Every structure is written in structure tokens, then in C-alpha cells.
Structure 1
Amino acid sequence: MFSKMSRTANSVLVTLAILFIWRVEKLAEACSCSPAHPQQAFCNSDVVIRARVVGSQVIDAGNDIYGNAIKRVQYDVKMIKVFKGPNRNFDMIYTAPTSAVCGVTLETNSKEYLIAGKLESDGTMHVTLCDFIEPWEGLSATQKKSLVQRYEMGCDCKITHCTSIPCTISGPAECLWTDWVIEKSVNGNQAKHFACIKRSDDSCAWYRGSAPPKKDFLDIEDP
């Protein structure tokens, strides 16, 4: 009898251990996202703004299907400029409460950020760790200029992330992003200084320049 109870207890413990491991793995997977070039992040976002973060608070956001309370972090922001999305004021941005579920931590000392995120059905802006969020002062001059027009010009292009050599593209409407294999960083030269732009023949190529590219440019142009 004791042996049977012991086997039952062991079985329960094994099941609980498996469930715990599964839960940890699910949390880890919950915030898994592929690196994205700033242009990709811009094109994939509903809203891209420059804003100053002035405060934060944890709020209740209803209950999940099991009746557990859902928490959200509400960041109060003073918007400076809209680069993409509805031309209206966003004075609050929402995110998950922890990084385990992709929550974003922003400094609330009036620091300025470039914030890209998603627009919910109720009109609110939500952000995750997978979105492109950077201190404004940390952006390169090219990145700042590209937010106005250049990134949008390349939204029909595909940026292929090269993770190991050899790297190839599957068609002329692609740009090969090689920062990781060359610099071991996703914030390298191409991310900071280049945009993938569609040319007049519908092919795409990396562009670097201080002005919007000419209509029929053929090669990379230097400033």
C-alpha cells in the first residue's frame, strides 16, 4: 500500500515538474522575436512616434479566461511628433508588466524615445520588447531622417537577415542585411546608416544618402 502511495506521489511530482518546465518554456517562448532592421520595424508598426516619458503606473486590465487579474503598465507620455499612424495625440502607452511576457521598461525622467508599436481596436497604443523602441539621442542622423520618408519608400521591399555565411536572397526585391555576420550586432552599419529602397525597375537596393534617393538611382549613394 505504501509502495502504491509512493508511486502515486512520485507520479504527481513528475507531472507537476513537467507542467512547471512547460510553463517556464512557454514564458520564455512568449517573448521570442526575430531581430528586425529599423526599416522593417517601422513598416510593420501601426504607430511610430517621438515622445517624452513623464510617468508610469500599473493598472488593472480586466481578467483572463481563468478569472486571474491582468495587469498592464501605463506610461504617460508627452508626444512630440508622429512619424506613422493617426495624426493625433497619444498621451498614454501600454505594455505588459514584466519582460517575461514582453513588457517594456522605459525611463520616466522625461527621457525622449522613438517608440514604434501596435494600435489596438480601442485606439490605444501598445508596445512589446519585439517593437523598435530606442532613446532618441541614440539614433543616428540617418535613422532620424529615414523616419520622415525613406523607410516608407522601402516598405514593399524585403530585408533578409543574414545569420551565417553564405547568405543569399531569393529575388531582386530583397536587401541582404549582414550586420550580424560582419559586426556580430543587429545595430551595425546597415541598421544605423542604410535603408532598403525600391528602384524604378521594382528591384530593391541599400541606399545611403543625406537626401531622398533620386527616382532612378541604380547604386548605393554616399552622402
Structure 2
Amino acid sequence: MTETHGALMDQVYRRQRLIYDVTRKYYLLGRDHALRQIRPGPNAHVLEIACGTGRNLDQIDARHPGRHLYGLDISSQMLRSAEAKLGDRAKLALGDAYDFDPVAMFDQPQFDRILMSYCISMIPDWESAIAEALNHLAPGGQLHIVDFGDQSRLPRWFDRRLRTWLDQFHVTPRDSLPAFLAQQDKADFTHRPLLRSYAQYACLMKG
């Protein structure tokens, strides 16, 4: 599945990566809300799973200089853009959110902050990806998730059209995210809808 999904993502983003940051700012809403919540301490290790073009890591570096930054993505095409944007400010690696070894990839066993921004809607087994992220979260660390919401506070026609459009890009909003988080015994969590439930944000803290 890893090779198949990676090839699909490379196909999707081979050209889109060149205009990704310009176009996605109009509908990947709530990302900056998540970035404001991260607040990594001095010398913190921060990982973004599915880092894409490196946009979020670049923003974290601007807000919190001097932190140790890491990015993981299944698309080699997206990592080309991330490498060009971040240079030596972050360690980047090709890998699968389902199953990755941070020691082998980054020489770092755990992270103080992990970000998953608009990726669970594109990961087929997103529940396993969240569980894997929690496995690599340091005690007291935080996992921040932002993605499409259930649009329950928006008109039904908007919900239908959005989901039809997103389906063309292999994107599926995860309406059951709150219920899944409530089942996790490894971490306490908060969850809130954003922008009339267009987006959703969650933070899990590992005890």
C-alpha cells in the first residue's frame, strides 16, 4: 500500500506542488490556528507528518526560531519543494505515516510537538497514522491535527459540493475524528470545529 499510495501522491502533486502554496491558502483553512497553538518550548523537537511543501515548518521556524524541525512525507515530489523552501533548517525524509522509524530517519526517538495538517483526509487508514504519531510523541508532548470538518453548521448544498469536489483529489473529510480521539487512552484531547465546522482542530496531550 505504501508504494501504491506514494505513487498516487506523486502523480497528484508532480505539477500541483509548483502552485500548491498559492492555491491552497484559499481553502485549507485553519492551518494558522493550529500553528498558533503549537508553541514549542526552547530546544523543542517538532515533527510535521505529511509536511508537503514545507509551508507549515517554514511558518513554525519564523514564529519559533531555534527549534529542531523535522518533516515526513510519502511524496518525493512534495519533498522536492520542501527541500527547496527549508534548506538546512529542517531534516526531511520520505516515509509513510502508518509506519516510520524516527531514529533511522532523523536520529530522534520522540518529539515534543507533532503536526498533522490536512493529511488525515488523504491517508486511507488515518486512524493508524494518528496512533503511529502518538507512539512517537514524548511524554507531555502534543499532537496537533487540523483538517476538513463535517460542515454541519454550513448549508447542505455546500457540504455536498465540497465533498464532490474534494473526491477528485482523493480527499475525504473525517467526520468521525472526535469519536476516534475519545477512544484513545494514551492522551487527553480537546476538539473544536472552526469556521462553522468547515474545518476541525484537535490537540492530544500525552500523559
TM-score, normalised with respect to structure 1? 0.22
Task: Compare the two structures and name the one with the higher helix fraction.
Answer: 2
The structure with higher relative contact order (CA 8 Å, sep 6+) is 2
Bigger Rg, which one: 1
